[in-house]
Structure 1
Amino acid sequence: MSRPCPVRRLGSREQHHFFGYYNKTAWDRTGRRVLGNHVAMMDARLTPELKVNVGYFDLQDSQTFRALDTTTAWNWQMGCQLQWLDGEPGRKLIYNTRSGDMSARYPGFGSTILDVDSGAKTALPMPVYVTAPDSRYALCVDYRRLYATHETIGYSEHGGPFPLPLAPADDGINRMDLATGEVTLVVSYDDLRNFQRKASMERAIHWVSHIEINPASSRVLFLHRWTERTEDETCFLHRLITMYPDGSGMRLLECSDHPLPQLADDFDPSAVGTFDYEKSEYQISHPLWQDDSHIVVWAPRAGSIHYHLYEDRDDGRVEAIGRDVLTENGHMSFSPVDARWLLSDTYPDTRTNTRALFLYDMQDGVRYDIGEFYTPAALKKENRCDLHPRWRRDGLAVCIDSVHEGARQMYVIDVSTITGAR
């Protein structure tokens, strides 16, 4: 069902702005300020010197963008992991930075907590991937490893990517205390390789992505990925795993291990389309907590791939969502005030280069298409602009990144006629 909704751009069309990923809200508690990144260009090959301004739009002051700091630790998909620290009093935010400290565990990288009211900054020794909703800790990984394995979500470095050990015992997911900066390795890549080990893992390089913490800050999900051919994403293998924040209680929810004919010596990875990976029937992607014990994810199950809702239990149920209408991979999340509403998008149509933005009614099984947005075909994996829809805290509006007007911009879409009318 088509139900177009009012759309308004934030900021000036002559400048470029984006937020990044879909897994957090850009709005502060009051709904007045919307976090974003200001860049000088719509797209560019990332280098270690390329700066982005971090700040927010003030919706009560002519939508003015207020820059608070700059960073060179970012990418087009996730930005600099800019996010509010909701568990802290006042207005504090966190984002990744290049520290210049080459003796750090991840040389040259760290993160910063900024108190918006006082301007005070606190430097932390690791770049964050996700922070807990209670703001007590963050989970951290090496973005240099991501740059080598999945460049789209890594951070560039001169001369890189460099050779890395396949599954080291001294690196993996780290837990960082946000008050003290204390860091603990909670699960290593060697631990992951040995957890319900598969033959395809033996000669592969391993990494993790899509780390998410449940609303109670008590349980963690992530994707464990491995491959022998990093240059071809269709060779990536995936597992959806959950655990406690200290690394204990690890549970395997899904695995897409399968034969890979692409590993043949004569396979040409350049023949793979820009979005073939996201549309693969073996993909496990974009998992997010619905609540403290349920996870929505695009994943294969019982021979077919759909949006699925997994229960985080050893004997947990798995339910396909919208089997006939949610037929493409997307960036999905539930309304923060009413889990009846699932928000998501699609990747570009191969003929029109448009992407759909939609709401799905979990109660009535109805999909509402609320907008279509064009993207230039020239944008590729590393510099593309996914919609990455994000909820306002009251569930009555969403925010997207888009390039349909010829610039990379943030847009607010009023969905209250759908979500507020029921």
Structure 2
Amino acid sequence: MIASPLCIADRPGHRARTLRRTCPIQRLRGGEQHHFFGYYNKSAWDRTGRYLLGNEVAMMDAPLTPDLRANVGYFDLKDGEIFHAIDTTTAWNWQMGCQLQWLDGEPGRKLIYNTRTDDMSARYPGFGANVFDIDSGKKTALSMPVYVCAPDSRYALCVDYRRLYVTHETIGYVEHGGPFTLALAPADDGIHRLDLATGETALIVSYDDLREFHPVASMERAIHWVSHIEINPASSRMLFLHRWTERTADETCFLHRLITMNADGSGMRLLECSDHPLPQLADDFDPSAVGTFDYEKSEYQISHPLWQDDAHIVAWSPHAGSIHYHLYEDADDGQVEAIGRDLLTENGHMSFSPVDTRWLLSDTYPDSRTNTRILFIYDMREGVRYEIGEFHAPPELKKENRCDLHPRWNRDGLAVCIDSVHEGERQMYVIDVSQITGAR
């Protein structure tokens, strides 16, 4: 059996239930601009709990252009929640921001974020990243845009955001003159490893490698890419989604695999594949008839994988013909178990408390009738879903400029931070959940 609390909550005869809890919520002030962090996969708080990372923009939504600027900075939670901008960037999107994140393995307070550069000779021309030291004010430029940094801060994993803009627009970066024609599965591009101390880079797995790894027929004429790259707490192993399609305009045509491998690209392991028939490829199919969130609710979707610990991964995925929140053991012939089978019935952005994996934080996509999203915490031990908030999402916000809640834990597991537009602005909110996770 997988060594996790879900064995208790999902035991036959155990009564699962949903409870509502009213938790204190605070909107971060930060001035008259709009603010958001982006993704769900990292904590915006620094180790002391005083500083909270964010992006600052002049508008709640706008089409992305290569010249659209966002301030990069942090809120000082012990000094009036003042937003301190440390730089600006034009390498960002509404879903992930500029991949702003703390370098926790470094001493002091250092952060990293993506930016555009004048270096057109770089591997990804015109794109890079900056490391900023809050204590010294020193800024160091890196030659590649990052996707995620290892917990020990020794390396980052990098991809071509121009390619993502073609294959999965919501998480890519727009470029002047683009989008461009791309090779379907090139041997000279894929996931790069960037040494954060030396700046040296290496291609550790190519798209051609992925196409040849347990290939299926649907890959032959498809364009390939990767997303949702995550590194385990020990910084020794990574996971990612390998995706491919013949029709990038319609996300319901995306095909998915969950793969893990060592930090140097060795030891690649296939945990799940959702290859399936695609009637949408018919010539008379109308992608405009697909609802905004139909893709996220697809019965074939693999999405939002995240490490529970060094050997287990949670993901929304189909397994053995049934789609649920699943916990995967990262091992050859590793076991897979459904989490909260009767309560966690929709795709969401899930993560475990950094101090106790009993608590699983997640959200839902907007309801098609009410346009509300639910924020909740699931008790893995007792099988209880605590709904801690409902937030309206204006239906006019579509795929590229939508505002998912993307809930993120603070470092002690007693508060969470979300992005939301329920008050007519794109802002960040901190919710005190200590009455749930702090109870013993």
When the two structures are superposed, what TM-score results if normalisation uses the length of structure 2?
0.95
Give the Cα–Cα distance (whole angstroms) in 2 for the partners of residues 274 and 161 of structure 1. Answer: 22
Q: State which of 64, 71, 88 in structure 1 corresponds to 2:82.
A: 64
Equivalence for 2:132: 114
Unaligned runs of 5+ residues in structure 2 are: 1-18
Q: Secondary structure at the match of 1:169?
A: coil
Give the Cα–Cα distance (whole angstroms) in 1 for the partners of residues 30 and 242 of structure 2. Answer: 40
Aligned length: 422
For 2:235, give the aligned amino acid: S
Deviates more, 1:239-248 or 1:3-12: 3-12
Equivalence for 2:205: 187
Q: CA deviation at 1:159?
A: 2.1
Q: State which of 359, 368, 373 in structure 2 corresponds to 1:350.
A: 368
Q: State which of 129, 150, 155 in structure 2 corresponds to 1:132.
A: 150
Give the Cα–Cα distance (whole angstroms) in 2 for the partners of residues 166 and 342 of structure 1. Answer: 37
Change (3 A) 1:179 1:130: same
Q: State which of 227, 235, 238 in structure 2 corresponds to 1:217.
A: 235
Give the Cα–Cα distance (whole angstroms) in 2 for the partners of residues 13 and 95 of structure 1. Answer: 22
Larger RCO, structure (CA 8 Å, separation 6 or more) = 2
Give the Cα–Cα distance (whole angstroms) in 1 for the partners of residues 273 and 122 of structure 2. Answer: 34
- Does structure 2 retain, via aligned residues, the 8 Å contact 1:308–1:319? yes
Q: CA deviation at 1:4?
A: 1.7
Q: State which of 259, 263, 287 in structure 1 corresponds to 2:305.
A: 287
Q: CA deviation at 1:160?
A: 1.2
Equivalence for 1:52: 70
- Does structure 1 retain, via aligned residues, the 8 Å contact 2:31–2:83? no
Q: Secondary structure at the match of 2:374?
A: strand
What is the CA deviation profile of residues 317-356 of structure 1, one whole-angstrom value per residue up to 9, with x for unaligned ones? 1010000000000000000000000000000001110000
- CA RMSD for the aligned pairs? 0.6
For 1:348, give the aligned amino acid: P
Equivalence for 1:318: 336
Alignment of 1:269-284 (within 5 A): 269-284=287-302
- Does structure 1 retain, via aligned residues, the 8 Å contact 2:374–2:390? yes
Q: State which of 187, 196, 199 in structure 2 corresponds to 1:178.
A: 196
Q: Secondary structure at the match of 1:43?
A: coil
Equivalence for 2:378: 360
- Does structure 1 retain, via aligned residues, the 8 Å contact 2:30–2:75? no
Equivalence for 1:31: 49
Equivalence for 2:34: 16
Q: CA deviation at 1:14?
A: 3.2
Q: CA deviation at 1:134?
A: 0.1
Give the Cα–Cα distance (whole angstroms) in 2 for the partners of residues 127 and 394 of structure 1. Answer: 29
Say yes or no: does 1:243 pair with 2:261.
yes
4+ residue runs over 2 A deviation? none
Give the Cα–Cα distance (whole angstroms) in 1 for the partners of residues 33 and 334 of structure 2. Answer: 48
Give the Cα–Cα distance (whole angstroms) in 2 for the partners of residues 308 and 140 of structure 1. Answer: 27
- Does structure 2 retain, via aligned residues, the 8 Å contact 1:173–1:186? yes
Unaligned runs of 5+ residues in structure 1 are: none
Equivalence for 2:7: none
What is the CA deviation profile of residues 143-185 of structure 1, one whole-angstrom value per residue up to 9, with x for unaligned ones? 0000000000000011211100000000000000000110000
When the two structures are superposed, what TM-score results if normalisation uses the length of structure 1?
0.99
Equivalence for 2:394: 376
For 1:357, give the aligned amino acid: L
Q: CA deviation at 1:13?
A: 6.8
What is the CA deviation profile of residues 9-47 of structure 1, one whole-angstrom value per residue up to 9, with x for unaligned ones? 001573200000000000001000100000000000000
What is the CA deviation profile of residues 218-264 of structure 1, one whole-angstrom value per residue up to 9, with x for unaligned ones? 01000000000000000000000000011100000000000000000
Equivalence for 1:104: 122
Give the Cα–Cα distance (whole angstroms) in 2 for the partners of residues 146 and 326 of structure 1. Answer: 29
Q: Secondary structure at the match of 2:301?
A: coil
Equivalence for 1:165: 183
For 1:87, give the aligned amino acid: G
- Does structure 2 retain, via aligned residues, the 8 Å contact 1:75–1:154? yes
Equivalence for 2:4: none
What fraction of aligned residue pairs are identical, expressed as a percent? 83
Q: State which of 81, 91, 99 in structure 1 corresponds to 2:109.
A: 91
For 2:119, give the aligned amino acid: D
Give the Cα–Cα distance (whole angstroms) in 2 for the partners of residues 13 and 403 of structure 1. Answer: 16
Q: Secondary structure at the match of 1:249?
A: coil
